[in-house]
Amino acid sequence: MSKTRVLTGITTTGTPHLGNYVGAIRPAIEASHDHNVLPFYFLADYHALIKCQDPERVRQSTLEIAATWLALGLDTENAVFYRQSDIPEIAELAWLLGCVTAKGLMNRAHAYKAAVQANEESGESDPDKGVTMGLFNYPILMAADILLFNAHKVPVGKDQIQHIEMARDIGGRFNHIYGEHFTLPEAVVGEETAILAGLDGRKMSKSYDNTIPLFLPEKQFRKLIMKIKTNSLEPGVPKDPDTCTLFSIYRAFATKEEVADVRRRYEDGIAWGEMKQFLFEYLNDHLTAARERYDALLQSPDKIEEALQDGARKAREFSAPFVKQLRASVGIRGLAG
């Protein structure tokens, strides 16, 4: 195991959108072809249960996310692609880690603190109202995901940095008590330029309900592009590309020359309708082949399941012996001999 191990999880509560693609999926798929790294990519379905108690949605999201990654050409020979819940060692390790984690550390987690703050602000007498143990323990489960594979690098969004720091804390604590078992991971945060604007101009995010799903059928895809908010400048009036959502999306896909060319068209006062149609055609060309593979995969979920089972088998080649070693280190082992 001398390659750099890169690990990241995708919570299975939504449908992949253009922002996910540009910020996380595309770089991860590119890295999957790099044989100097050993990528672990997984569907965080246990994490999904913290936010979502709609079983059909969790299942559908798992299917869509897996199909998306496979359709976009994830190299499953090099990368280990699996579903969190298929690796029983993750939940097992979460318990071992929970037993060395200070409750006070979890009190400081952003997601938990935000929930408490919302209760306080609404005059609720119980600050923990609506807080499940799943939410409270979220960082421990995430630490287990990461430490189980001794990941060196964890690509995440900014909002997740604290969780990686907590994984380091928890792993360090375990190492201190039971010996050096864990590699302490480092967060790798994507560039700002990889953040896409959504329909309303704010960051494209499920929580703002302003996303453009990646593999929407062509007609609906065009409709959404047409809905992107612009200012009200008339055709022929020079426009500022750098504050324009259409341009921000285009730039995330186009080559440097293409971007420079469209910049000039903004200066020349391109009409919004024309730019929208141009963006639609450009993205559609870019996505059509993958969309066809995606649709085909959704028609044969058994293929997706097979890929995930393969991935789980590979993942467990690491995780099963490792957890056995960890159990022994804490004093849980057979009594004979």
**Whole-number minimum distance, CB 126 to ligand TRP, in Å?**
26
Q: Is 109 in the site for ligand TRP (CB under 6 A)?
A: no
**What are the angstrom distances between the C-alpha of 82 and each of 7, 160, 251, 312?**
11, 21, 32, 5
Binding ligand TRP (rule: CB under 6 A), the pick from 18, 19, 22, 47 is: 47
**Whole-number minimum distance, CB 8 to ligand TRP, in Å?**
4
**Whole-number minimum distance, CB 143 to ligand TRP, in Å?**
8
Binding ligand TRP (rule: CB under 6 A), the pick from 145, 174, 283, 315 is: 145
Q: Name the packing angle between helices 301-330 and 55-71 (round to 10°).
A: 100
Contacting ligand TRP within 159-178 (CB under 6 A)? 160
**Whole-number minimum distance, CB 328 to ligand TRP, in Å?**
25
Binding ligand TRP (rule: CB under 6 A), the pick from 8, 20, 68, 210 is: 8
Among 154-162, 172-180, 201-209, 271-279, which window interacts with ligand TRP (CB under 6 A)? 154-162
Q: Is 156 in the site for ligand TRP (CB under 6 A)?
A: yes
Q: Is 14 in the site for ligand TRP (CB under 6 A)?
A: no
Among 5-13, 212-220, 261-269, 274-282, which window interacts with ligand TRP (CB under 6 A)? 5-13
**Between 80 and 146, CB nearer to ligand TRP:** 146
Binding ligand TRP (rule: CB under 6 A), the pick from 154, 166, 204, 298 is: 154
Among 6-14, 64-72, 294-302, 323-331, which window interacts with ligand TRP (CB under 6 A)? 6-14
Q: Which residue is nearest to ligand TRP (CB)?
A: 9
Q: Is 85 in the site for ligand TRP (CB under 6 A)?
A: no
**Whole-number minimum distance, CB 31 to ligand TRP, in Å?**
14
Report the interface residues with ligand TRP, using CB under 6 A: 7-9, 11, 44, 47, 142, 145-146, 154, 156, 160
